[in-house]
Structure 1
């Protein structure tokens, strides 16, 4: 970032903080560094954010919005006419989008889950809820399995994302990782069907 000149300082500070989050994760989002990158004093930054936690929540919100967009983009790729197959594939693509984002943006993904406000989770979480509701509506997911299905699906892909983005599986080849993700999504699919 080249520095702040005129306009919306708060927005410029958030953009600088997002870049720090991308580069260094939650520990890298520091108001003094954000102010330095924006070209203003840290006192000027504190006029827009009461403390680091408030700034971190803003960066987390951006991360959740980007995560949700990635999930939506993946879901929109599904072009299948059969309603059951379409619902199943859309649920699968929501999971793949979640993992895609975690792998592409490990720093910002970490920030997104370091300072979580449940309201920020709603946008991404809604993609999962909608996909599961669609599976229920077309008869793939029986009503008795619908309650709590979000948690099982989310825990599966979140755990996978952590293992392969910053955890012990981060050195796995793309081919192995993709095969492992497909196996995980197969197991989730199997657990949901009637």
Structure 2
């Protein structure tokens, strides 16, 4: 792509989005350490000077990639929630919704490992002004469980953190730990067990044998 073509194509903010797309692809291929302004500029086909007008450094670009990764995560969780049918029992429906969120979380981690690692790496710290939408969604389902009488009110405080930590842990074990090379059926059973024990710990009820 020539510089003149680049200038005519990426204007009025389009270059920033193109660089974020490139940063996301770099993260998908190589994880957070692969995200850099110059690398993203090469990916898009623009000069580093043009890219640096939008992102001061690699950490600045990584923050944007992290924000995009969290959107991908929350979109996947929303999509999975949409598949949960109303059972007619609010408590059972809420329990299935919690399960769905956990499975969506693990699935997106395995489907987009680079993006997932980028989202949670130490570099490029996100603003703490608002909690991630994924966490908000889990909290909302916890409130549904309380309203349905499945989650005792005294167990509600920070329950979403406990649930998030459990599924995040099994996802990381699959990406970078001892579950990385186990048979698919063993990993599936491990995810079932983590979700089951999480639900049991919160509500006292199990979802699988």
Q: Same fold by TM (over 0.5)?
A: yes
Asked if the contact 1:106/1:166 (under 8 Å) is kept, the reply is no
SS at match of 1:77: coil
Contact 1:61–1:120 under 8 Å retained in 2: no
Contact 1:14 1:59 in 2 (8 A): yes
Which residue of structure 2 aligns with residue 10 of structure 1? 16
Cα deviation, 1:28-74, whole Å, max 9, x if unaligned, reads 10111111111111111101111111100000001000000111111
Report runs of 4+ in structure 1 exceeding 4 Å deviation.
none
| C-alpha displacement of 1:156 | 0.5
- Separation in 2, partners of 1:120, 1:169: 32
> For structure 1, which runs of at least 5 residues remain unmatched after alignment?
none
Show the counterpart of 1:87. Answer: 94
Question: Runs of 5+ in structure 2 lacking a partner?
Answer: 205-209
The CA distance in 2 between the partners of 1:152 and 1:10, in whole Å, is 36
C-alpha change, 1:177 and 1:103, in structure 2 (3 Å) is same
Shift of 1:166: 2.3
Q: How many residues align?
A: 193
Q: TM-score, normalised by structure 1?
A: 0.94
Cα distance, 1:161–1:135 mapped onto 2, change above 3 Å: same
| 1:172 alignment counterpart | 182
Q: Give the 3-state SS of the residue equivalent to 2:150 in structure 1.
A: coil
**Larger-gyration structure (1/2):** 2
Q: State the structure with bigger RCO (CA 8 A, min sep 6), 1 or 2.
A: 1
Q: TM-score by structure 2 length?
A: 0.87
Shift of 1:81: 2.2
CA distance in 1, matches of 2:110, 2:29: 13
Alignment of 1:132-171 (within 5 A): 132-171=142-181
CA RMSD of aligned residues (A): 1.7
